[in-house]
Chains A and B, each alone.
Chain A
Amino acid sequence: MGAMNWGFKKSLWVFHLNAGACNNCDIEVLDCLCPKYDVERFGIKLVGSVKHADVLLVSGSVPRKVVPQLVETFEQAPQPCAVVALGSCGCTGGIFKDGYNFAGPVDKHIPVNAYIPGCPPRPEAIIDGIVKLIGKL
């Protein structure tokens, strides 16, 4: 196990980026931090800047206006940084994939390590996705 993988083993810090989501995925992410699920017990927490983050959590269908900022955010992240696409929109574009302003999904612009489908994914699903991500890294 290299130093990098060792760093991923515990206490993942997450930067959450809403790239055109309907709020639901974002609310479920916040729900994970609240008393019922409380992932902060395991050292997983949301941080205010991607420069502090181990994981970039992207929700939403990625409208055109967000693309440059999405790519820039990913480039600013210290590597290795795992990217998680959250929700149906983030994974495939979902119901919005035929829209004229749709420029996604997320993996069209940045490499994605894990997909968490669902509209919205339940907090349990989000936690399960992160646990599987830790196992994979």
Chain B
Amino acid sequence: MTTTIPIGPFHPVLEEPEYITLEVDGETVIGANFDLGRVHRGMELLAQEKTYDQDIFLVERICGICSASHSWAASLAIEDIVGCEVPARARYLRTIVHELERLHSHMLWVGLAGHIIGYWTVFMWGWKYREPILDALEAITGNRQHYAWYRPGGVRRDVPDEIWPNVLKIIEEFDRKTDMLTGAILDDPVILGRLRGVGILTKEDAIAYGTLGPTARGSGFDVDIRRDEPYGAYSEVDWDVIVQDGCDCLAVAVVRLLEMKESVKIIRQCIEKLPGGPIDAEVREVPRGEGCGHVEAPRGESFHFIRSNGTNMPERHKMRAPTFNNIPSFRPRIKGETISDALLIFAVIDPCYSCTERLAIVGPSGEKLATSKDLLRLSHEKTEELRKNS
């Protein structure tokens, strides 16, 4: 006999509103269903109503943690249409901010994973070590998150050279703390017991379900956009792609822990090699055309497609965030596990539901009701309503 256990939508452990139903037989999970849509904000249509410069601010707010990845991917898409060359200094500055973001995102995940398995110490440690990274980001970009740092053609502000010694000091300190934390986590028999052999995702499944990022690399699938299709300064610095063959939650955790060390390496080299010169290619007009850009976000691939009709607003702006292609891998992972491991398995891809929400209203005979015209109409009606009320 199967029982259904609801989790959410406002669950104290999950930060975001999502509603998960687990089908269980005794204590064994035999299936999982998701009910999303509580964070759907209509980004793609909003992006089509804003200018290219404003779009960057909008796509940053897809997700609070991947904001550099999304704005970089959108900038790459626009640069793809324009066909401009980004100055070297801008490429290095972009890379530094992107890797700092990866550091704080991975550390945040380590903390949350510790919190989920009941290790408050890991949570507090992880989040304490993450704070200096946010300070470094604030020193470079002016904000702790949502940096407003990328723009089509380059970066928005230049950085005085005096801040780099301080940033270097912060990441060296972070590197030492990461070593200590990695050692502490991988030496703890209880943490290993909770992670090892739990939530198996085989390499075949990882490929079949289309996973990317640390989720795929934890299953032995060697893929990283930073190496496979270099952008920014990644082809000019020395670093390694971390791949683990364990296929379980431990492998993904190890990938994230070791990737932080690689990120520190990248930042250190970028700061040492940072060239001078202009920071912006001064994109003034976007011609008619199509372009796409993708970057390796902390969780996977962040992909942006833009079609321009020659005006100052995109005709179509398609976004695909990392969680979108990692979510389906829950199903092979969760089958046959116990309820107590369920939350850990949900968290192992570092889900970000605000990235993932899609809208498709399907009618009784299967036709799509919410076409872009319908959405536009809804949007216009809403504006009218606001105008009437004001």
Contacts and interface: CB of A to CB of B under 8 A. Distances in A.
Interface of A: 17-28, 30-31, 34-36, 46-49, 60-61, 63, 65-66, 69, 73, 94-96, 98-102, 119-120, 122
Nearest to A99: B42
B30 interface: no
Given A23-B65, A66-B17, A120-B64, A17 B10 contact: yes
A122 B144 contact: yes
A102 B49 contact: no
Contact of B46 (A22, A31, A99, A120): A99
Contacts of B37: 63, 65
Contacts of B58: 95
B144 to A, nearest CB: 7
A75 B105 CA distance: 35
Which 7 A-B pairs have CB atoms at the shortest separation, nearest pair first? A24-B64, A48-B12, A23-B64, A99-B42, A34-B127, A100-B378, A35-B128
B311 interface: no
Contacts of A47: 12
Given A35-B127, A95-B57, A101-B40, A26 B16 contact: yes
A29 B46 CA distance: 27
A102 B42 contact: yes
A61 to B, nearest CB: 6
A21 B49 contact: no
Contacts of B375: 100
Contacts of B17: 17-20, 66, 69
A63 B46 CA distance: 14
A45 to B, nearest CB: 11
A35 B111 CA distance: 13
Interface of B: 9-10, 12, 15-17, 37-43, 45-46, 49, 57-58, 61-65, 67, 108, 123-124, 127-128, 131, 144-146, 352, 354, 359, 375, 378-379, 382-383
A34 B379 CA distance: 40
A23 B131 contact: no
A120 B379 contact: no
A22 B62 contact: yes
Contacts of B144: 28, 120, 122
Nearest to A73: B10
Contacts of A102: 41-42, 382
Contact of A31 (B62, B127, B352): B127
A97 to B, nearest CB: 9
Contacts of B42: 96, 99-102
Q: Which of A23, A36, A65, A66 has the most CB of B within 10 A?
A: A23
Contact of A24 (B128, B131, B146, B382): B146
Q: Is the interface of B mostly helix, strand, loop or mixed?
A: loop
B41 A96 contact: yes
Contacts of A119: 61, 146
A65 B38 contact: yes
Contact of B124 (A34, A60, A63): A34
Given A30-B15, A35-B131, 15 more contacts: A19-B17, A20-B39, A20-B40, A20-B41, A22-B63, A23-B15, A23-B64, A27-B108, A63-B37, A63-B39, A94-B61, A96-B42, A98-B382, A99-B41, A102-B382
B378 A120 contact: no
A66 B65 contact: no
Contacts of A94: 61
B379 A36 contact: no
Contact of A96 (B46, B67, B146): B46
Contact of B41 (A18, A61, A120): A61
Contacts of B123: 34
A17 to B, nearest CB: 6
A101 B17 CA distance: 16
A100 B45 contact: yes
A63 B16 contact: no
Contacts of B41: 20, 61, 63, 96, 99, 101-102
A20 B127 CA distance: 23
B21 to A, nearest CB: 16
A56 B382 CA distance: 28
A98 B57 CA distance: 15
Contacts of B382: 98, 100, 102
